[in-house]
Amino acid sequence: IIEPLKGEIDKIKNIQEFQVLKSKYVGKKGEISKLMKEIGKIEPEKRKEFGAFVNNLKKEAEAILEEGLEKVKQHLKEMEEKKSWVDITLPGAKRKIGYEHILKQTIRDVYEIFSSMGYKIVEGPEIETTWHNFDALNTPEWHPARDMQDTFYIEGKDNIILRTHTSPVQVRTMLNTEPPLAIISPGRVYRKDEPDATHSPAFNQFEGLYIDKNVTVGHLKATLEQFLTMYFGGSRKVLLRPSYFPFVEPGYEVDVDCMFCGGKGCNVCKGTGWIEILGAGLVHPNVLKNVGYDPEKWQGFAFGTGIERIAMLKYGISDMREFYRNDMRFLGL
Ligand code: FA5
């Protein structure tokens, strides 16, 4: 009994195996109990001797089991320690961290630049009235921009829309603020445009509005030059090309000198040396009147641009749809 027990106890690896072995030898139905039951068959004068022998056997077996159990416990403890052992000399696994989306970064850059010039950040609602989005901005009923084909109307309403630009925030701000004022307003706008590399039905714009006394186109030009220089770096020049927006007079399309070729002409600026970047102008007297400002006393300038557009130029992104695809390779830029 003792020899096979010694052989088996060395092989056990866990407590369950130990329990099986223990009951096999010293359990109620184990080898030693079986021997005990033989006692009746023994001649009476040898019984005492046999009993003592079996008892000793049991004690010996129990001692071997006890020792075996200690070994198993020790073994298990070592395994556990090995598992939780840490090599502190290994380089740490880099944890992946999130990135701020490029559009958010761009909006923050715009905030920071204009904050440094004393502008306040103001936001407005994306669901707008046609009055704030069009009428107050001197854009009458017959104007093509109001067309159902360009503008998302809220179902069942003919005066509630998704704003088509951030310019209604000019109106809302002037209605509840006394001049002078200087604000920047970023936000999402909506147009029924087919998505392609440079268009999306939902995109972001930011608007700037400055109202004070004796404001001229010179102030507008210097402000935009300062913004574009700080945003794109280097020393930027702007070109004002006369254009039409109902809410400004005079109105301009604003170009910036091409930062990729120093104005010499390249693929990005199509050889012209200039890149179209903003719409701008002096606030139309009718807009000032609509919000209760006296156009004889107050003047101002306004400008607006697509945030995707300026981000695409700065980071060399060729397809606007990348902004909304959530591709990790793009988001990690
Ligand atoms: C306006 O929306 C005027 N409110 C800008 C303005 C403000 C002019 C203040 C004067 C004074 P426009 O429709 O051109 O202008 O749009 C401005 C910019 O939005 C465009 O230059 C372009 O960069 C961007 N944009 C227009 N449509 C889309 C579109 N579908 N997807 C992405 N960007 C667009």
Tell me, using a 6 A CB cutoff, whether residue 134 lines ligand 1.
no
Please state the separation of Cα 118 from the chain's center in Å. Answer: 29
Gap from CA of 103 to ligand 1 centroid (Å): 16
Tell me, using a 6 A CB cutoff, whether residue 205 lines ligand 1.
yes
pTM score > 0.80 for this model?
no
Which two tokens mark 67? 């020792």
Ligand 1 atom having least distance to the Cα of 193: 30
49 annotated as belonging to a binding site for a ligand: no
Q: Which residue has the CA at smallest separation from atom 24 of ligand 1?
A: 306
Gap from CA of 328 to ligand 1 centroid (Å): 28
pLDDT at 333: 61
H or E element in which residue 129 lies: strand 127-129
Ligand 1 atom having least distance to the Cα of 303: 9
CA dihedral 62→65→67→73, nearest 10 degrees, is -140
Determine the Cα–Cα distance for residues 209 and 303; give it in Å rounded to an integer.
7
> Which of the listed residues 138, 245, 248, 278 should we mutate to test ligand 1's pocket, taking the one with most ligand atoms within 8 A of CB?
245
DSSP secondary structure letters along 178-213: PSSEEEEEEEEEE-----BTTB-SEEEEEEEEEEES
> Which of the listed residues 132, 205, 240 should we mutate to test ligand 1's pocket, taking the one with most ligand atoms within 8 A of CB?
205
A 10 A CB-CB count for 142 gives 7
Question: How many CA atoms does the CB half-sphere of 70 hold within 13 Å?
Answer: 6
Q: Which residues contact 42 (CB under 8 A, 6 or more apart)?
A: 50
Gap from CA of 5 to ligand 1 centroid (Å): 89
Determine the Cα–Cα distance for residues 223 and 206; give it in Å rounded to an integer.
15
pLDDT at 139: 94
**How confident is the prediction along the chain (333 residues), in pLDDT tens digits per residue?**
888 888 888 888 888 888 898 888 888 888 888 888 887 788 888 888 888 888 888 899 889 989 988 988 998 888 888 888 888 888 888 887 888 899 999 999 999 999 999 999 999 999 999 999 999 999 988 888 787 779 999 999 999 999 999 999 999 999 999 999 999 999 999 999 999 999 999 999 999 999 999 999 999 999 999 999 999 999 999 999 999 999 999 999 999 999 999 889 999 999 999 999 999 999 999 999 999 999 999 999 999 999 999 999 999 999 999 999 988 888 876
CA angle 268, 273, 278 (to 5 degrees): 75
Tell me, using a 6 A CB cutoff, whether residue 255 lines ligand 1.
no
Gap from CA of 73 to ligand 1 centroid (Å): 75
Q: Which residue has the CA at smallest separation from atom 8 of ligand 1?
A: 279
Which two tokens mark 311? 């981000």
Q: Which residue has the CA at smallest separation from atom 16 of ligand 1?
A: 305
ipTM: 0.98
Q: Which residue has the CA at smallest separation from atom 17 of ligand 1?
A: 305
CB burial readout 282-294, b (16+ within 10 A) else e? bbbbebbebbebe
Tell me, using a 6 A CB cutoff, whether residue 308 lines ligand 1.
yes
Tell me, using a 6 A CB cutoff, whether residue 133 lines ligand 1.
no
Ligand 1 atom having least distance to the Cα of 166: 4
Tell me, using a 6 A CB cutoff, whether residue 284 lines ligand 1.
no
